Amino acid sequence: MDLAAGVDFGGSSVKVGLVDRRGGIHARETIEIDPRASFEGILEPVVHGLRRLAAGIEKDSSLRTVGIGTPGFTDTVTGVLVGGCENIPRLRGNSIQGFLADALGVPGFADNDATVAAAGELLFGAGRKYRNFLLITLGTGIGGGFVLDGRVFRGARGFAAEIGHLCVDPNGVWCNCGSRGCLEQYASGPAMVRLYTEKAKKRGAELPGRALTPKDIVDRAGAGDPLARDTIEEAGRFLGQAFGTILNLLNLEACIVGGGISQAGDIVIEPIRRHLADHCWPLIASGVQVVTAELLNDAGILGAAAQAFERLER
């Protein structure tokens, strides 16, 4: 049985697992890292963890490849993480895939975490039904991944599908990317918290004595809080605008919504569906599906393994 090691980088820990071609996870481990350590100091515990898992592989199985998902921009030509990894700055300018491939003796492939998630949904999740779709990940930021004609689309250097930085309001809020009016400033988790807080203060509504979270807003919306429902409706309008614009360009079959916020289900998905038709041709919108991702907490490991299998076969 062929196995791929899936490696999912977070800010202070790395999830690793051994995955077969059907999406079965045969072993897994979470490895704590020190984001202030050197590049080698961050990667060596990951290598040790992967070797521990590989040592337990059954005799009829073999490790064929290692796939890595990271925040930021990995140049898929050189394998170097060139930016966007501020939480783990020592990774920048280095090739994680080269380091892990050399250590394990198998080909390595690194990609942006949202692109990895799209590869995972294509091979193992909600994307199995479609040949052309957009994956949007909703969380602290907004990421994206394209699948076109049944293959992950990465662009010239691997930087495609930065959906969170589509401009949805040219006179809008400044974004940390340096542009203005980016989708991420209106529909990410922090954006929802900011908008809800502004609404509550204007109306004299009661706020908790602690920092709100996106889950708080989703829970309040589910309980009937009109301000929370308005907040999610506004986020859905901006997401519908972005997806509708992309539909006009690419004539996709589906938008798959992933990330932590997507786990709220229809509370988040229905506003996107309602507003989609306002932003693209009716014929193009006809039959398009807006659905939640299926891989949930395993999206990082499964996606990293999926994109490694996919690129290995190329």
* Residues 225-284: tens digit of each pLDDT: 999 999 999 999 999 999 999 999 999 999 999 998 888 889 999 999 999 999 999 999
Residues 186, 259 share a domain:
yes
pTM of the model: 0.92
> What distance in Å separates the CA atoms of residue 215 and residue 133, rounded to the nearest whole number?
27
Residues 141, 50 share a domain:
no
- 311: three-class secondary structure by DSSP: helix
Residues 66, 147 share a domain:
no
Dump strand ranges (E) for the chain: 2-9, 13-20, 25-32, 62-70, 73-74, 81-83, 108-112, 133-138, 142-148, 151-153, 254-258, 289-292
Residues 135, 100 share a domain:
no
- 172: three-class secondary structure by DSSP: coil
Residues 50, 145 share a domain:
no
Residues 203, 173 share a domain:
yes
Residues 139, 176 share a domain:
yes
Residues 220, 113 share a domain:
no
Domain that holds residue 248: 129-293
Residues 8, 70 share a domain:
yes
* Residues 10-68: tens digit of each pLDDT: 888 999 999 999 999 999 999 999 999 999 999 999 999 999 999 998 888 899 999 99
Residues 161, 258 share a domain:
yes
> What distance in Å separates the CA atoms of residue 35 and residue 33, rounded to the nearest whole number?
6
* Residues 115-163: tens digit of each pLDDT: 999 999 999 999 999 999 999 999 999 999 999 999 999 999 999 999 9
Instruction: Kindly tell me the burial class for residue 152, based on how many C-beta atoms sit within 10 Å of its own C-beta (0-12, 13-18, 19 or more).
Output: buried
Write the CATH number for 71.
3.30.420.40
Residues 44, 115 share a domain:
yes
Work out the mean pLDDT of the chain and round it to a whole number.
Answer: 94
Structural domain count, the chain: 2
At residue 294 the predicted structure's pLDDT band, cuts being 50, 70 and 90, is: very high
* Residues 84-101: tens digit of each pLDDT: 888 899 999 999 999 999
Which residue, 287, 279, 285, 274, is CA-closest to 242?
279
At residue 77 the predicted structure's pLDDT band, cuts being 50, 70 and 90, is: confident
